[in-house]
A and B are shown apart, each in its own frame.
Chain A
Amino acid sequence: MDSSDRIIFSSSPPGERRHQSTRISLVDMQWKLGMAVSSDTCRSLNSPYVSLLLKIVEPSGQICQRAFEMTIPQFQNFHKQFKEMAAIMETV
């Protein structure tokens, strides 16, 4: 990006954006809604979770995967942030 870019909106103040890491494109996103039922240390977990598998392309062209889990409240916050981001993009 060159110097004519303008930052329109950010979820965090400029001072807090620490990681100017490599930009990665999302190729595909798969999801799974799971329920942890039982484990060796807790017989009734009854804990739902959302699992996402991101297929990403690095600038080198290499395709790789990243998976991560969220609790339901975490997912709902993630969803909310995404909607806010989309709303800003529409107004631009």
Chain B
Amino acid sequence: MADVEVAKCLSGLLSGIAQMVYYNKSEITEELLKNELYPEMPQEEFKVLFEKMKGLIKSIATADMDHAQLEAFLTAQTKRHGGGGLSAEQAAALSRFWKSQRVRVRESLLAQHRWEPTLRGLSWRVDLQTGDSHGNADHRGPVALMELELGRAGQDSEFLCLEFDETKVNQVLKKMADIQESIDRIVQRT
């Protein structure tokens, strides 16, 4: 295989592994990757390559390596003797892969660890109640309706429609200001 071809197949393999492990693409399988990228390679040899690359990606992702750490890690791997060593092309492919995918892999890892529902969407409106059918004007005043879309990864959303009068809105705003203050304090410290 020409060098360019080798590099392309390696990149494809690393990308495919990321799709399987981090991006939840269930249609990507080890078998598919072999058939698409390394059809001529013996099964056992491909399995070894696959597991080695997967293990390295996981190590890099778990440590969330920066550029310097990655280079040191890959250099150490290329110096290993015996079957565990990494070729220069493989090291280069891993370096390119991590440079382009680090942020996305990290986002995926963060999302995997959000076990509570998250806020998927939000819409609101303000109504003015001008009276009711009994001719009663006591209920005048603006009413806010806020619809929150909540859900966990891979599950359907729940829609919560909350009703607020002005007093309640101001109470919530005060709490939100407290939250923002806490955030600002933490950001200053770190």
Contacts and interface: CB of A to CB of B under 8 A. Distances in A.
28 contacts: A1-B129, A2-B131, A2-B133, A5-B127, A6-B127, A6-B128, A17-B147, A21-B147, A21-B159, A23-B161, A26-B163, A33-B182, A42-B62, A42-B64, A42-B106, A42-B113, A50-B179, A50-B183, A54-B162, A66-B117, A70-B118, A70-B119, A81-B124, A82-B176, A85-B169, A86-B144, A86-B166, A86-B169
B109 A69 contact: no
A86 B166 CA distance: 7
B126 A78 contact: no
Contacts of B144: 85-86, 89
Interface of B is mostly: mixed
Report which residue of B62, B129, B141, B179 has the largest number of chain A beta carbons within 10 angstroms of its beta carbon: B179
Interface in A5-22: 5-12, 16-17, 19-22
Nearest to B148: A68
Given A23-B145, A82-B169, A89-B144, 15 more contacts: A10-B123, A12-B123, A19-B147, A21-B161, A22-B161, A23-B161, A24-B163, A26-B164, A42-B113, A43-B63, A43-B64, A67-B117, A68-B150, A86-B173, A89-B166
B81 interface: no
A42 B102 CA distance: 12
